[in-house]
Amino acid sequence: MNNALVIGGSGFIGSHIVDVLHQNNFSVKVFDREFDRFRDKKEGISYIGGSFQDQLVLAEALSGVDVVIHALSTSVPSTSNNFPIDDIMGNLVGTVNLLNLMLENRIKRILFISSGGTVYGIPKSLPLDEEHSTNPINSYGIIKLTIEKYLLMYEKLYGLEPIIIRGSNAYGPRQGHIGVQGFIATSLYKTLRSEVITMYGDGELIRDYIFVEDLAELCFKAVLSKEKGVFNGGSGKGYTLNEIAKIITDICGSKLILTKMPGRLFDVKENVLCVKKAETRLGWIPKTSIESGIKKHFDWLKERLQE
């Protein structure tokens, strides 16, 4: 099983999954609307351009594939509630079409990047393990969870072999910094440009952050395994926004220029993932400390801004 199609393979998380697959001698196809935003096309990778809703192009991309990695999302948590119909049509309908095409092409193995930050909703206990109840409070989490349910239904009815990675807040090189997703990415970018950063609430929201290369390594180990079902992918540690701001200040050498806005209803107060299942069943542990990861992100971003 070494012929992989990475849907969303030019995106932030997807491009890092492409890297680790390619480094480990997988034959890799990338399916995306546009190609790598932050780098040139990689030699030895096949690129297929098209919309996720274009079933003809997607069917062509699936030819000769053993495993599908679904890392594409057309929405982000902070804006999904504003456009729920778009979220349904772009992500849910597109994924169900993908599953049907996989059945037609007799492809069983799929890895789906879900959201450990949103599918659980308000925690009843911490850290959140995979058995915790799922009650998302935004459209993004609802759609991710619904896709999970479809994957498990297709497993039961049609023999699909899904593995679901519920990633926490990923950060690192190649993350966009337009301000709608990623407090670390946005804060680094705006601090380097001496711009104002919007922080919602009092800065005491607690989040689990995972360096993107660690998450990509987890996905690779999951693809290689024979496991199915749900796995959390986080650091297992929680940091407040204020703590992240302090780390960024120390690394950048300048204080963040913050403006604070009222908290948002779809932001849970605390989210920290338990990753023991991934450690035990997949032999994976996150390797990158928050300080080291933010420094790598900072160095990459600084170099880009100097180009």
Buried b / exposed e along 56-65 (16+ C-beta atoms within 10 A): eebbebbeeb
Residues annotated catalytic, as ranges: 140
**Cβ pair 134, 246 in contact under 8 A:** no
Q: Please, which contacts does 94-100 make with residues 24 or more away whose CB atoms are closer than 8 Å?
A: 94/52, 94/53, 95/70, 95/147, 95/150, 96/150, 97/53, 97/55, 97/58, 98/7, 98/52, 98/58, 98/68, 98/70, 99/150, 99/151, 99/154, 99/160
Peptide bond just before 127 cis, omega within 30 deg: yes
Nearest alpha-carbon partner for 238 in 119, 128, 164? 128
β-strands 257-261, 239-240: how paired? unpaired
| Non-local CB neighbours of 301 within 8 Å, separated by 6+ positions | 173, 177, 185, 188, 189, 192
**DSSP string across 196-236:** EEEEESSS--EE-EEEHHHHHHHHHHHHHS---EEEEES-S
